[in-house]
Amino acid sequence: MDAATPVVELKQITKRFPGIVANDSISLKLHKGEILALLGENGAGKSTLMNIVFGLYQPEEGSIEVKGKPVVIDSPNKAIELGIGMVHQHFKLVQPFTVTENIILGMEPKKMGARIDYKTSVAKIKQLSDQYGLKVNPNAKIHDISVGMQQRVEILKTLYRGADILIFDEPTAVLTPQEIGELMVIMKRLVAEGKSIILITHKLKEIMQISDTVTIIRRGKVIDTLKTAETNPNELAEKMVGRSVTFKVDKQASVPKEIVLDVKNLVSKNKEGISVLSGLNLQVRAGEILGIAGVDGNGQSELIEAITGLRKVDSGIIEVRGKDTTNKNPRHVTESGVSHIPEDRHKHGWY
């Protein structure tokens, strides 16, 4: 393949749903070793377009070329065969399975007839994990690892299947700031190894940090394609929404009132008997936003679980508006006026 030939080229792609044109004659190019950001508001048509590239949807009009050759991508299996992988915003993982079982699902290596060769699979996954700095434990259960680590498993799934063109759909939506930074490092390492990436996002800061080129989509149409080094967040924002925008927020100083949440000497241990909360104290007042910062795994999730009734505590007191809610069930806590937007809204969004 000639160096100037795009690894993926979309030509006049159009996709319609009842009452709406999701993609309207969209054309774009992705080159080898490039990170192309696909920028647009929610509903602009970004994910629909990439679902076409991955074979989940078929366009009504237009064509796709992969490495200079016209192709028809009529299924995800065809996309994988062409070296295209997709890391979905909502992960496609089986929670009770191990990392290895999820990655090899559907293409399990066999030995001596029908037996699955797990040893070879684990070795290959570990080699890929080390090569790209993913630091994933092949034997860990999915339900025991963080959301950020689950995303890395999804990345490994694409690499295990031989993908050299990776699509990331809103990858930072569920990540902590630290995990976002780590993902940026991983993406840079991937392109350094010759991979090419399409990044779906509406976060301007991340685009400026990581991408080489940015294509802006608004209401299903391509507005512009720019070199990231030659643009700025203001220009991108205006093209994305179609009007002038300001990043300045006028914010008045808060005037906290009475205590609405009081956590006193909270202690909680995990299944191994190790303290995850050790004599923790905090107060939240009416009219106040309290931030809790820390490296992943230092008790933030356990604290929220304890406050919302999802985790039993060994000692200490939790009071909501002066009433003891310690070790009460989630319904009782909710009826006390406490709401919970979980880290993984699909796994924990319903009690």
Tell me, what CATH number does 304's domain have? 3.40.50.300
Q: 34 and 135 share a domain?
A: yes
Confidence band, pLDDT 50/70/90 cuts, at residue 145: confident
Write the CA distances from 54 to 143, 246, 320, integer angstroms. 27, 36, 48
Q: How confident is the model at residue 351 (pLDDT cuts 50, 70, 90)?
A: very low
227 and 268: one domain?
A: no
> Residue 335: what pLDDT?
92
Rg (CA), the chain: 23
Q: What does the pLDDT look like over 45-60, one tens digit per residue?
A: 999 999 999 999 999 9
Whether residue 264 sits in one domain with residue 237: no
Instruction: Mark whether 263 and 212 lie in a shared domain.
Output: no
Q: Assess whether 266 and 208 both reside in one domain.
A: no
Residue-level pLDDT at 126? 93
Span 157-163, mean pLDDT? 92
Give the domain range for residue 287.
259-348
Backbone φ, ψ for residue 308 (5° rounding): -90, 5
Domain assignment present for residue 333? The answer is yes
Answer for the pair 202, 145: CB distance below 8 angstroms, yes or no. Answer: no
Q: Tell whether the model's pLDDT for residue 142 goes beyond 80.
A: yes
- Three-class SS state of 317: strand
How far is residue 6's CA from residue 10's CA, in Å, rounded to a whole number? Answer: 10
CA distances from 68 to 32, 64, 279 (A): 12, 9, 62
pLDDT at 92 > cutoff 90: no
Domain shared by 203 and 311, yes or no: no
pLDDT band at 217 (very low <50, low <70, confident <90, very high): very high
Examine the domain organization and report whether 82 and 49 are in the same domain. Answer: yes
Counting the structural domains of the chain, the total is: 2
Residue 349 pLDDT: 66
The average pLDDT across 316-344 equals 91
- Asked whether residue 193 falls in the same domain as residue 314, the answer is no
